[in-house]
Amino acid sequence: MSLYITTPIYYVNAQPHLGHAYTTIVADTYSRFRRLCKEDVRFQTGTDEHGDKIAEAAAAAGIPPKEYADRISRLFQEAWPLLNIEPDTFIRTTDAHHVKTVQEILQKVHDKGDIYLGSYSGLYCRGCERFLTDKELVDGHCPDHQALPQPISESNYFFRMSKYQEWLIDHIEKNPDFITPERYKNEVLSFLSEPLEDLCISRPKSRLDWGIPLPFDAGFVTYVWFDALINYLSGIGYPDGEEFNHYWSVAEHIIAKDILKPHAIYWPTMLRALGLAPYKRLHVHGYWNINEAKMSKSIGNVVRPETLRQDFGVDTLRYFLLREMSFGLDASFSDETIIARQNSDLANDLGNLFSRSLTMINKFAKGTVPAPADLEPQDRALAEAATSMVAAYSAHMKSFAFHRALQEAWSVISLANKYIVTSEPWVLAKDPAKTPRLNTVLYHLAETLRLIGLVLLPVMPETSMKMAAALGITPEVFRKHNLIDHGIWGLTEPGVKIQLGASLFPRLDKKNGQNRSPQKQKVQAVSGESIEAESDIGLISFDDFRKLDLRVAEITAAEKIDKSDRLLKLTVMAPEERTVVAGIAEYYEPEELVGRQVIMVANLKPAKLMGVTSHGMILAARDEKGRLTLSSLAAGAMPGSKVS
């Protein structure tokens, strides 16, 4: 199988930031994953360089638009290798072959009769350089420029998008995987339930010069989408390039929700007008917020990938982004959350397993992986868990559930850590009669680590290479490994020499973060309705505090409560099973809660909320704007443990 994967091409009016980095890391991880499944992959990213905004930014910088575009495009090109992102092509909309393809396509669609000259009238804001809709106006004024927009009527070219509306609805309905996650498919179908208007695709040259001229009317340039979307074709040599023939039928686009409409509606109808099959899939993700606030230049909280790389390292950043966001939903970035993930998941769980195992092989088996002897049930259980993890991981990766794929790997990591505790190799090492048992344990640890290292390759290429090297697999050999032939148990050859190296991840503390300080947060118990009791932090006695029975609760099921926008019914283990109602539905999807550990007030009198009896309250932080983040534990704890 083959894959052609793309990211949006980013506007050159802003420098690369965390949002761009996320989409591009997802594309890179997915490319590496499919390559690891022995597939043939082509990965494209690039920059979108025409339009008002870029012309304006260039004017502000006092340089010609092309020079400006060169400068910012270079920043994107230089940013990706720093994050170990390896696209096969980097396309720019100012590339001559792209410009030529756009013009050929415009001509073709025009010849077919699907582009026509019409008139456009509306309220035009000179400051915004665009038409504003009635909804955007505040007391008839542009809210950004406090100016009265001018009624303008001008001729423009339109693409007959409406003609393809029925076809598109039918295509989306017949191909349930065309737009995923499903919420975005539903959003598009709901939009399509109203009549579709034709798409204005030009601007008069007198108003916008920085664009691609229409081949059939030199008085106009094409506007934004009819230029940008075509990169997905021009990049692979449409109409007759070999790559185009090979890759178009396997095209998958990754975008965020901000550009859903152009990708889910304009693009497939444009392709239909061209007589081409639509792309295969559109993967839509949510937005990264910073400390729960929208990332924006004016707030000054824009996060640069280079800074994150310096503060935390590439692999931690890649791991964090993929583990923390559930693809499709919004997520929040903060130094605290990335540091917590580094310390618990990476330094503690993975790092400790790795260093303990290698140190023991070094010390108890003279630095070579010993041959296993007779197996006990717990050895079989570990081997079985590690191999079935590979399958479960792959299934999640295929469906873009990166956080779940990683959870699968981490459940094996925690099982292996428990295996060390229960098999006590240091005790076995004291008794020569127990050497066969010791060897079995050490072999199982080495082989489990090999499989974990292999599945981590798409997400953390450097860590994965380090793990392989430590287990005696040279980079040349490891580069040829794949999930199909090597994702099975038992390939570590007894006798292989391990290489002890530095630890995989250091523990971090707060100074590793820049000053992206979180807003002050208050801890409060979230329950439904009006019992949101803030624990206002006045002074209380220790005896008062002791009255609270705080417990670690693991969420095993979550569902919405009928007729309530705020309430979720949670089933938790603490350690006995109980039902808790929490007022968190506006912030969390039920699916993303399962498996989380939270802190619960366990000794509250039961209360009935919307017909459901709640036997506890979950603690969460609420910031000054009222937004909420659930409490969590840095490292996994036993459900029911007392929190003190």
Q: Position 82: which residue type?
A: L
Among 5, 16, 23, 338, binds ligand MSP (CB under 6 A): 23
Q: How far apart are CA 252 and CA 588, in angstroms?
A: 28
Q: Does 258 bind ligand MSP (CB under 6 A)?
A: yes
User: Rule CB under 6 A: is residue 324 a binding residue for ligand MSP?
Assistant: no
Q: Of 53, 125, 396, 403, which is the active-site residue?
A: 125
| Residue 22 sits in the site that holds ligand MSP (CB under 6 A) | yes
**Residue 297 is among the residues annotated as catalytic for this protein:** yes
Q: CB nearer to ligand MSP: give 22 or 443.
A: 22
Q: Report, in Å, the least distance between residue 582 CB and ligand MSP.
A: 26
Catalytic residue among 294, 363, 398, 522: 294
87 forms part of the interface with ligand MSP (CB under 6 A): no
**Which tokens go with 448?**
């489990």
**Cα of 237 vs its chain's centroid, Å:** 29
Q: Which helix (H) or strand (E) holds 44?
A: strand 40-48
51, 109, 367 from 441: Cα distances, Å: 63, 67, 14
Inter-axis angle of helices 18-36 and 314-324, nearest 10: 90
Q: Does 295 bind ligand MSP (CB under 6 A)?
A: yes
Residue 145 annotated to the active site: yes
Is 522 part of the annotated catalytic residue set?
A: no
Q: Which lies closer to ligand MSP via its Cβ, residue 256 or residue 460?
A: 256
**Pairing state between β 550-560 and 597-601:** antiparallel
User: Shortest CA distance to 490 belongs to which of 576, 390, 561?
Assistant: 390
Which residue number, 332 or 629, has a Cβ lying nearer to ligand MSP? 332
What b/e readout covers 569-597, taking b as 16+ CB neighbours within 10 angstroms? bbbbbbeeebebbbbbbebbebebbeebb
Q: Is 37 a catalytic residue?
A: no
* Residue nearer to ligand MSP on the CB measure, 87 or 351: 87
288 touching ligand MSP, by CB under 6 A: yes
Q: Can you tell me the distance from the alpha carbon of 436 to that of 434, in angstroms, rounded to the nearest whole number?
A: 6
- Annotated catalytic residue, options 38, 66, 97, 297: 297
Taking CB under 6 A as the rule, does residue 400 contact ligand MSP?
A: no
Active site residue 403: no
Is residue 9 within the footprint of ligand MSP (CB under 6 A)?
Answer: yes
Say which of 142, 200, 263, 615 is annotated catalytic.
142
128 labelled catalytic: yes
What DSSP string describes 95-115? SHHHHHHHHHHHHHHHHTT-E
Q: Please state, in angstroms and rounded to a whole number, the distance separating the CA atoms of residues 291 and 271.
A: 40
Position 19 contacts ligand MSP (CB under 6 A): yes
Question: Which element (helix H / strand E) includes 72?
Answer: helix 65-82
CB 344 within 8 A of CB 423: no
Window of 106-114, 228-236, 500-508, 625-633 that interacts with ligand MSP by CB under 6 A: 228-236
- Which is nearer to ligand MSP, 21 or 473 (by Cβ)? 21
Is position 333 an interface residue for ligand MSP (rule: CB under 6 A)? no
Please say whether the beta carbons of 319 and 460 come within 8 A. Answer: yes
Q: Is 20 annotated in the active site?
A: yes
Q: Does 75 bind ligand MSP (CB under 6 A)?
A: no
Can residue 228 be called a binding residue for ligand MSP (CB under 6 A)?
Answer: yes
Judged by beta carbon, residue 9 or residue 438, the one nearer ligand MSP is: 9
What does the alpha-carbon distance between residue 350 and residue 505 come to, in Å, rounded to a whole number? 9
- Nearest residue to ligand MSP, by Cβ distance, number only: 19
Shortest distance, CB of residue 359 to ligand MSP, whole angstroms?
40
Q: Compute the distance between CA of residue 106 and CA of residue 98 in angstroms, rounded to an integer.
A: 12
Q: Give the Cα separation of 77 and 495 in Å (integer).
A: 44
131 touches ligand MSP by CB under 6 A: no
Minimum CB–partner distance for residue 107 and ligand MSP (Å): 20
404 lines the binding site for ligand MSP (CB under 6 A): no
Beta strands (DSSP E) in 136-224 are 150-159, 179-180, 199-200, 202-204, 213-214, 217-222
Catalytic position from the list 128, 171, 205, 434: 128
Query: Contact positions toward ligand MSP, by CB under 6 A?
Result: 8-11, 19-20, 22-23, 48, 228-229, 231, 255-256, 258-259, 287-288, 295
Would you name the residues annotated as active-site residues? 17, 20, 125, 128, 142, 145, 294, 297
